[in-house]
Amino acid sequence: MTAFGRLWRRAPVWRTSLIMTVGALGMAAFYPTAPVKKALPWLPGHAPSARPSKAGSTASPAAGGPSAPGAGQDDGSGQVGLPDVGITQRGSLQIAGRTLPLPAGDWHPILIAQTGPHREVSQQVLARTDRGVVSGVIIVHATQQAVPQDVATDLETPCHDDRNYAARITNTANIEECSYTGNAVLSNHTISTDPFITAAFNRMSTLGFPIPPLMVNVGWYHVSKQGTQGVQVETVETLVAPIEQGSRQLLAPPQYWNKASIHQNPDAAHFIDALDRWMLSWSKVLRQGFDGTLNTASLVPPLINDPSAPRPS
């Protein structure tokens, strides 16, 4: 018999204390108080003040807009808000007067902003946690009114990146749209030179969100021409972690997650193929949200299940 086994049999008080401690920690994880959930947003439970919204429900002010908690910080170029990361959102949310569908899982608002000369561009970053690990990040830019064409041109750049695994571009008389799949290596927890995105990842790091070293980015870009008034634009970047469930361990070593090497590793190649197929359907849902024709009742599995979507334990 091991020393632990002997102690377990001969020390009933210690045994009882150990059982109670483990039970208390479990209760705290699955039924956290609001302060605990705010400090450790990756816990699996939901605080009483942060119940998940139902699919299709409108997001709280923390999901977008200057009335969110912590909002009102203005550096002269825009207004930035720090929403309560203890809030959990599911199904969809409203941004810039449109419906943004959300993939499966619990999504937490990380950072919001309104930028542009007239605050016409709404921005938001959300993170999905699964078993304590960040398995997805959404970065969205959406205009609330028509903006000059050059604003859209700047946001379109990722569509033409030669490093993308795949890209699909559609042009009509009044619509321009693209979707693409590419990787995003998180160096120092940032993937962009955009200060807003950098600030969002820095906030996640500060709050203790376990961020994988690499994520795969499926992006969607949509421009609708508004005659002589300019264009309406929406971009949605969905970063999906190619990791084992509940772990930050990548499905394949980092060197295989580039366009030239992806097919040298079956696990990496399978993940990219599955994600690209999912994006074909998901881009249609994003377009419906932009056009105002999305039926939120349709946001159910398997449509909302990306390859890293949470699965039952």
Q: What's the domain range around 86?
A: 54-298
H or E element in which residue 6 lies:
helix 3-10
Q: What is the tens place of the pLDDT at every residue in 205-217?
A: 899 998 888 999 9
Is residue 28 one of the residues assigned to a domain? Answer: no
Mean pLDDT, range 218-242, rounded to an integer = 91
- pTM here? 0.75
Is residue 248 one of the residues assigned to a domain? Answer: yes
The Cα–Cα gap between 16 and 39 comes to 29
Q: What is the tens place of the pLDDT at every residue in 236-256?
A: 999 999 998 878 889 999 899
List beta partners, residue 177.
170, 222
- Average pLDDT, whole number, for the chain? 81
pLDDT, greater one: 54 or 114? 114
pLDDT over 90 (residue 287): yes
pLDDT of 188: 55
pLDDT over 90 (residue 293): yes
Is residue 49 one of the residues assigned to a domain? Answer: no
Is residue 135 one of the residues assigned to a domain? Answer: yes
The Cα–Cα gap between 155 and 177 comes to 12
Q: What is the tens place of the pLDDT at every residue in 43-78?
A: 555 443 333 333 333 333 333 333 333 444 544 456
Is residue 145 one of the residues assigned to a domain? Answer: yes
Phi, psi of 3 (to 5 degrees): -60, -40
Whether the CB-CB separation of 77 and 88 falls below 8 Å is answered with no
Is residue 286 one of the residues assigned to a domain? Answer: yes
Domain count within the chain = 1
Q: What is the tens place of the pLDDT at every residue in 5-33?
A: 777 777 777 677 777 777 667 666 655 66
Is residue 211 one of the residues assigned to a domain? Answer: yes
Is residue 58 one of the residues assigned to a domain? Answer: yes
